[in-house]
Every structure is written in C-alpha cells, then in structure tokens.
C-alpha cells in the first residue's frame, strides 16, 4: 500500500519548478578560490539552493571547455554591498547572466536526471528516494485494515459481476473508519452492488445501467440514500417527542443525539442503512475500489469530501489518481484527499479479468 504523490512526476522546468539565477563564466584556474569567496559572500544555503552545485563544466563549441559559476538569485546578488560586489566582479572578471535552474531538491532519480540537464544537482539517493518511498508506506495496522476493506470491495465486484451477467465489474465500498462494529475498526457505509440493486428495484427502468452509474458513483449515491433515511428517521423521532406528553422522552433522546453513528442494529460486516443527518456527505470516509477511478468519479469524490481513496490496480487509460493525471494533487480544488494504491493488487487484477473471454470491457 503506497501513497500516490506528486513527486513521481518529473520537474516541469518551464513552469513552477524553475528559478532564475545569475551565473558567470570563469577561468578554470580560478575555480577553487571563487567557490571559497562566494560561499562567504553569497552562500547557497541562504538562497535555499544547496541542492545545486556551485560550478558547472560544459563544452563550448568554439572555446572548448567552459566553466560557469552559480552566483545567486538576482535579488540576493543586487542586495550585496556595492563595494564587495565590485571587488569580486573585477577580481574574477565576472559577467553575470540569467540562467534557469531547478528550484527544488531532486526527490527521485527521474527528477535528478531531468533537472540536472539545466544545472548539476546533488542527489542523496539513500536519504531521498528510498526514505521518501518508505514514508509513503502506511503503518502496518492501517494496511491490515485496508486489506480487510479491499476484500469487501472484491466481494462487491463479484456481486457486481453476477448482477451484470458475468461481465467483470469494478467493486467499491465506502467506509467510515471511526465507526467500528463487531470488533472491526471501521464499518462499511455503502457498496456499489447494493446501490445498483436498489436502483434496479426502486427506480424507473430508464435508470437501470445508467452510463453515469460507475461503481464509485453508486457508492456516493448510497451514502446520499442513507443520509436521507437518517433525516427521515430524525423527523419521525422529533414528531414522536412533540406528541409524547410531558417531554420526558425528549430529554432522554437529547443525551443520545451526539453518540457514535454505530448502532447495535448494524450487523458486523453488514452495510449501514441509516446515517445521522449530522454527517456531511462523505466527510471523513475512505473509499476502497478495485481499480483506479476515472475523472468523473475522482471529481465526485472531491465534491463529496472523501478522506482517502485506496485502489487496487491502476487504470492506465482512464485513471485520474496517478495514471493519466493526479486530480487529488491539484491545490486549486477546494478539497483534497489522499490516495493509496496497490492493496490486494493481484486479487483486484484477477477480479477485473474476463474469465469467460466474451465481454468487451470491464464495467466501470
């Protein structure tokens, strides 16, 4: 179970990862002295550029070997005492020009290689890429919980397959991680197959196999149904309180109003029928889905304020939480959730395969 984060992508040196600095050609024999003087006058740490090397050596088409020194960002250079600046410029014959370099330290080998073409960088493989990879792995107990709920999503996928005449179908469940029942940490509040069945049983025939009814959308709709049921139940209870003489019953209920959403009526491993109207959409809930969600589903999860998305395998053609794009990392959106991949990946892959080899594609 590995978190899907932005650092998997290469630096965008034409965009936000770029920083303009001043560089100048120097003579090779001056190199060690100029590095010493500049580390006192314009230290790279102060400019937060200690991931960059001070000197770059390259081949010039006419003069042969070209040595360049990184001075600093322009504002830092111009803020230098004028006499000191003049002295160093004259001593080494500096001619500062603007050059774009990577603004941030490389966190992966891919970033190191793409950024290094602009200016040589320092890359601590052991303390960056591997350590960061380790930090993206989830604690063991969380991972065990995740396996349990992904198995529920796999069961949902199997039910979906039966509902869809044997066609492989994505499975999804929404989980309230704080609502444990029957000794389990967390409880399922919606499943795609259950909502699919409800649509078939209760809605007009035109809603059956609706193109927007992807497994994730059905789960979100299932939460909406449970919230509406909770709202109805509360109205009935309030009416009963008003009708009851004296208001004693009303006082008893007041104390219970903010209790956990978990009730004895929820069977362990079963799906919750009713959610308290105090719950706002899917706030705090985690989605487990066998395959990476598409753009529509990923955006619906933003709108419904989900906490985390955990998927089994990537969808390299349509997946928008790591494959085609990374919707969850867009800071311009008004809500962001965390994304994890690779839980029960082999079982999910198996679940999405067409055992009978007669179906065109997996039902999303």
Q: Which residues in this chain contact Zn ion in the complex, by CB under 5 A?
A: 214, 294, 297, 364
Which residue, 54 or 214, is less far from Zn ion as judged by CB? 214
Closest distance to Zn ion from the beta carbon of 294 (Å): 3
Which residue, 274 or 320, is less far from Zn ion as judged by CB? 320
Closest distance to Zn ion from the beta carbon of 297 (Å): 3
Other beta carbons less than 10 A from residue 169's beta carbon:
29
Using DSSP, state whether 44 is helix, strand or coil. coil
Residue located via tokens 């790279």: 44
Closest distance to Zn ion from the beta carbon of 327 (Å): 12
Closest distance to Zn ion from the beta carbon of 217 (Å): 6
Closest distance to Zn ion from the beta carbon of 298 (Å): 8
Which residue, 71 or 199, is less far from Zn ion as judged by CB? 199
In sequence order, what are the residues at sequence separation of 6 or more whose Cβ sits closer than 8 angstroms to the Cβ of residue 256?
none
Which residue, 73 or 322, is less far from Zn ion as judged by CB? 322
Burial class (CB in 10 A: 0-12, 13-18, 19+), 165: exposed
Which residue, 309 or 344, is less far from Zn ion as judged by CB? 309
| Residue 113 backbone phi and psi in degrees, to 5 | -70, -45
In sequence order, what are the residues at sequence separation of 6 or more whose Cβ sits closer than 8 angstroms to the Cβ of residue 264?
none
Closest distance to Zn ion from the beta carbon of 222 (Å): 15
In sequence order, what are the residues at sequence separation of 6 or more whose Cβ sits closer than 8 angstroms to the Cβ of residue 111?
7, 10, 11, 102
Which residue, 312 or 364, is less far from Zn ion as judged by CB? 364
DSSP state of 191: E
Report d(CA 173, CA 149) in Å as an integer.
Answer: 8
Using DSSP, state whether 216 is helix, strand or coil. helix
Closest C-alpha to 179, from 96, 84, 246, 278: 278
- Our measurement of the distance from residue 350's CA atom to the centroid of its chain's CA atoms, rounded to an integer in Å, reads 25
Task: Give the length of the chain.
Answer: 364
Which residue, 294 or 344, is less far from Zn ion as judged by CB? 294
Which residue, 107 or 214, is less far from Zn ion as judged by CB? 214
In sequence order, what are the residues at sequence separation of 6 or more whose Cβ sits closer than 8 angstroms to the Cβ of residue 259?
none
Closest distance to Zn ion from the beta carbon of 192 (Å): 11
Does residue 64 come out as left (phi exceeding 0), alpha (psi in the -120 to 50 range) or beta?
left
Closest distance to Zn ion from the beta carbon of 70 (Å): 47
């Amino acid at each position: 179970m590995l978190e899907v984060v932005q650092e998997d992508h290469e630096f965008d040196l034409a965009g936000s990862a770029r920083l303009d600095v001043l560089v100048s050609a120097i003579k090779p024999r001056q190199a060690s002295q100029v590095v010493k003087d500049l580390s006192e006058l314009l230290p790279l740490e102060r400019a937060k550029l200690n991931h960059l090397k001070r000197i770059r050596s390259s081949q010039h088409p006419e003069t042969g070997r070209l040595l360049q020194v990184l001075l600093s960002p322009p504002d830092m250079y111009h803020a230098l005492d004028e006499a000191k600046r003049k002295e160093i410029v004259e001593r080494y014959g500096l001619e500062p020009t603007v050059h774009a370099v990577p603004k941030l330290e490389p966190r992966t080998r891919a970033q190191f290689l793409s950024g290094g073409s602009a200016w040589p960088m320092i890359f601590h493989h052991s303390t960056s890429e591997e350590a960061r990879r380790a930090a993206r792995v989830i604690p063991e107990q969380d991972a065990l919980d995740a396996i349990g709920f992904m198995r529920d999503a796999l069961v949902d996928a199997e039910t979906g397959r039966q509902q869809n005449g044997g066609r492989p179908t994505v499975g999804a469940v929404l989980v309230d991680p704080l609502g444990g029942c029957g000794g389990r940490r967390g409880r399922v509040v919606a499943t795609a197959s259950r909502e699919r069945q409800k649509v078939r049983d209760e809605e007009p025939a035109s809603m059956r196999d609706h193109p927007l009814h992807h497994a994730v959308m059905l789960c979100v709709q299932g939460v909406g149904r449970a919230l509406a049921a909770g709202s109805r139940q509360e109205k009935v209870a309030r009416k009963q309180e008003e009708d009851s003489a004296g208001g004693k019953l009303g006082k008893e209920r007041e104390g219970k109003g903010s209790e956990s959403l978990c009730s004895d009526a929820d069977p362990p491993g079963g799906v919750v029928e009713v959610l308290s109207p105090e719950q706002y959409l899917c706030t705090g809930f985690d989605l487990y889905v066998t395959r990476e969600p598409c753009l529509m589903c990923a955006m619906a999860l933003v709108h419904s304020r989900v906490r985390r998305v955990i998927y089994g395998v990537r969808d390299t053609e349509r997946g928008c939480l790591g494959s085609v794009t990374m919707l969850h990392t867009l800071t311009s959106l008004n809500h962001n959730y965390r994304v994890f991949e690779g839980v029960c990946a082999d079982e999910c892959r198996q679940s999405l395969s067409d055992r009978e080899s007669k179906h065109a594609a997996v039902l999303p």
